[in-house]
Structure 1
Amino acid sequence: MQPGVEILIAELGYAGFESFVENEDGVTAYIQKEDWQDNILENIQILNSGEFKITFNFSEIEQTNWNEAWEKNFNPIVVDNVCAVRAPFHDKFDTKYDIIIEPKMSFGTGHHETTHMMIQHILKNDLNGKSVLDMGCGTGVLAILAELKGARPIDAVDYDNWCYLNSLENVTRNNCAHITVIEGDANVLKDKKYDVIIANINRNILLQDMASYISCLNENGMLFLSGFYNDDISLIQTECEKHLLKFEEKLERNNWVSLKFLN
Structure 2
Amino acid sequence: MNKRAWHCLRLEVPAACAEDVSAWAYELGSCGLQAEEAGERTQLSAYFAAEPMCDLAGVRRELTHRLAALGLALPIGTECVEEQDWEAEWRRFFAPVWATGRIVVHPSWIPVELAEGQIAVRIDPKMAFGTGGHESTQLCLQALERCLRPGMRCLDLGTGSGILSIAAALLGARPVLAVDIDEQAVANARENLAHNRISSEQVEVRLGGVEAVAEGPFDLVLANIQSHVLRPLLAPLRGSLAADGRVAFSGLLTREEAAFCRWVTEAKLEVDTVLKKEAWICVVARNSGGQFD
Q: What TM-score, normalized by structure 2, do the two folds share? A: 0.73
- Cα drift, residue 28 of structure 1: 8.5
The equivalent position to 1:245 in structure 2, one of 230, 254, 269, is 269
AA matched with 2:173: A
5+ residue gaps, structure 1, are none
Q: Who is 1:225 aligned against? A: 249
- For 1:232 and 1:168, the matched residues in 2 are separated by 32
Pair 1:34-2:52 in alignment: yes
AA matched with 1:106: A
Percent identical: 24
- CA change 1:29–1:105 in 2 (3 A) is closer
- Cα drift, residue 29 of structure 1: 7.7
- For 2:78 and 2:206, the matched residues in 1 are separated by 31
The equivalent position to 2:113 in structure 1, one of 93, 106, 112, is 93
- Cα drift, residue 73 of structure 1: 2.1
Q: Who is 1:161 aligned against? A: 183
Equivalent residues, number: 253
- CA change 1:169–1:208 in 2 (3 A) is same
- CA change 1:78–1:57 in 2 (3 A) is closer
Deviation track 1:155-195 (CA, whole Å, cap 9, x = no partner) reads 11112222111110111111113000112222212454311
Deviation track 1:45-83 (CA, whole Å, cap 9, x = no partner) reads x96xx9898979795744443432232221112233311
The equivalent position to 1:143 in structure 2, one of 160, 165, 183, is 165
Q: Who is 2:278 aligned against? A: 254
Q: What TM-score, normalized by structure 1, do the two folds share? A: 0.80
Pair 1:187-2:211 in alignment: yes
Counterpart of 1:170 in 2: which secondary structure?
helix
- Cα drift, residue 136 of structure 1: 1.2
Counterpart of 1:18 in 2: which secondary structure?
coil
| Equivalent pair of 2:148/2:171 in contact (CA under 8 Å) | yes
- For 1:191 and 1:259, the matched residues in 2 are separated by 24
Q: Who is 1:152 aligned against? A: 174
Counterpart of 1:73 in 2: which secondary structure?
coil
- Cα drift, residue 218 of structure 1: 1.6
Counterpart of 1:93 in 2: which secondary structure?
coil
Deviation track 1:179-231 (CA, whole Å, cap 9, x = no partner) reads 00112222212454311100001111111322222221121101001112011
Q: Who is 2:228 aligned against? A: 204
- For 2:189 and 2:76, the matched residues in 1 are separated by 34
- CA change 1:126–1:192 in 2 (3 A) is closer
The answer to which structure has the higher strand fraction is 2
Q: Who is 1:213 aligned against? A: 237
- For 2:152 and 2:204, the matched residues in 1 are separated by 15
- Cα drift, residue 239 of structure 1: 1.5
- CA change 1:9–1:150 in 2 (3 A) is closer
Identify which range, 135-144 or 188-197, moves more after superposition: 188-197
Pair 1:116-2:127 in alignment: no
5+ residue gaps, structure 2, are 1-15, 288-293
- For 1:63 and 1:182, the matched residues in 2 are separated by 26
- CA change 1:51–1:88 in 2 (3 A) is closer
| Equivalent pair of 1:84/1:93 in contact (CA under 8 Å) | no
The equivalent position to 1:72 in structure 2, one of 85, 89, 92, is 92
- CA change 1:173–1:30 in 2 (3 A) is closer
Pair 1:106-2:166 in alignment: no
**Alignment RMSD:** 3.5
- CA change 1:94–1:9 in 2 (3 A) is closer
Identify which range, 122-131 or 63-72, moves more after superposition: 63-72
Deviation track 1:56-115 (CA, whole Å, cap 9, x = no partner) reads 979574444343223222111223331121122222321411121123222111110011
Counterpart of 1:206 in 2: which secondary structure?
helix
- CA change 1:35–1:163 in 2 (3 A) is closer
| Equivalent pair of 1:103/1:109 in contact (CA under 8 Å) | yes
Identify which range, 186-195 or 76-85, moves more after superposition: 186-195
- For 2:109 and 2:70, the matched residues in 1 are separated by 49
